[in-house]
Amino acid sequence: MAGIRIERGADPSRCPICGADYKQIVPELVKCPSCGFEEKSTFGIVKEYIEKNGITTMSVVSKECGVPIRKIDNFLRSGQLEIPEGSDIFIKCKKCGVDIRFGKYCKECATELIRDLSNAIEIKESEIGDIPRKLEGKMRYINKD
């Protein structure tokens, strides 16, 4: 694998050699289907930096890797990255604001949201109505003799 890294302002979804769109091979690696060039994905760059340098803030990772903080937050929110136990730095539950290591919600809020959603989607048969048919401008007769 060549040592080309994503430069600031470069399009990380395109090959720097031929400009074709990358194909994701694994979360850490992308490959160009046209010329075969492979390099670390944005996720791979962030993951490698954290493995080498240990626990740090999103702003430091963003600056050192050239990856927007929003993207790093997405990796944490989607569960691709986890903040290790014993860290001083955490992300917050989107509902109650408690510290969490990864994801969008703490277990309590997730359980509550799931319960609320399942209660909200209980629909009785009598609550489901028929969609009226369109008459298409034709004359209709009740008794045709």
Q: Which residue has the higher pLDDT, 8 or 60?
A: 60
pLDDT reported for residue 121: 77
Q: Which two tokens stand for residue 90?
A: 């955490």
Q: Using 50, 70 and 90 to split pLDDT, how confident is the model at 63?
A: very high
CA angle 133, 135, 136 (to 5 degrees): 125
Q: What SS3 state is found at 14?
A: strand
Domain borders along the chain are 85-118
Q: Which two tokens stand for residue 116?
A: 């609320």
pTM of the predicted protein model? 0.64
pLDDT reported for residue 141: 65
Q: Tell me the pLDDT tens digit for each residue of 74-120.
A: 999 999 999 888 888 899 999 999 999 999 999 999 999 998 888 77
Q: Name which of 28, 53, 52 is nearest 39 in CA terms.
A: 28
Q: Which residue has the higher pLDDT, 143 or 36?
A: 36
Core vs surface per residue 8-38: b (16+ CB within 10 A) or e: eeeebeebbeeeeebeeeeebbbbbeeeebb
Q: Any idea which residue has 């720097």 for tokens?
A: 16
pLDDT reported for residue 1: 35
